[in-house]
């Protein structure tokens, strides 16, 4: 899922769509943090 979100981020960046870039960037950061927290909890 993160891979597809990064593709969307790159496409938005190429299209100079700053609103989508900001939205996707923040969303990816939140998801990566959640994945890290859950991985740490399960280890």
Which residues are CB-neighbours of 13 under 8 A, at least 6 positions away? 21
Please state the pTM of the whole predicted model: 0.82
pLDDT truncated to tens, each residue of the chain (43 aa)?
999 999 999 999 999 999 999 999 999 999 999 999 999 999 8
Q: For the chain, which residues make up each domain, given as ranges?
A: 2-42
**pLDDT number for residue 43:** 85
Q: Which residue has the tokens 């700053």?
A: 18
* Coil, helix or strand at residue 43: coil
- CA dist 19 to 12, 34, 38, 40, Å? 9, 23, 29, 32
Which residues are CB-neighbours of 14 under 8 A, at least 6 positions away? none
């Amino acid at each position: 899922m993160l891979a597809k979100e990064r593709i969307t981020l790159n496409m938005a960046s190429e299209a100079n769509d700053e609103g989508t870039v900001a939205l996707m960037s923040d969303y990816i950061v939140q998801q990566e943090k959640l994945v890290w927290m859950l991985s740490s909890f399960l280890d």
